[in-house]
Amino acid sequence: MTEKEYNSKISARTAVPPTCFSFIFHRKGGSHVNIMADYQVGQIVEMRKPHPCGNNQWEIIRIGMDFRIKCTKCGRSIMIPRSKFEKGVKKIVQGG
């Protein structure tokens, strides 16, 4: 193995992961479905349940295992688990 090949393998392993995540769900019978959850910091999303201030649009501030989102009306920010966030998103209103 040459030095160039070795360096390319090392850089491939230490590459920064993308900000979007791809999930694969397997069905019975061996087929699978790719669901691309493409959320980015700065996007405005509409949630199913409204905030107590009456607004249901939120800005994404942080992405990870937990999401930090900020209400676009009153400015209150909350942190919720990824699973709860993905179930609660109705649509992406504005891209980031």
Rounded Cα distance between 86 and 23, Å, is 12
Across all residues in the chain, what is the average pLDDT?
78
Mean pLDDT throughout 2-26? 56
List of E strands, the chain = 21-26, 32-37, 44-47, 57-62, 66-71, 77-81, 89-94
Dump pLDDT digits (tens) for 81-91: 999 999 999 99
Which pLDDT does position 94 carry in this prediction? 83
Domains of the chain with bracketed CATH = 40-96 (2.30.30)
Which pLDDT does position 95 carry in this prediction? 75
Dump pLDDT digits (tens) for 24-56: 445 555 544 445 568 899 999 999 999 999 999
Element (H, E) at 18: none
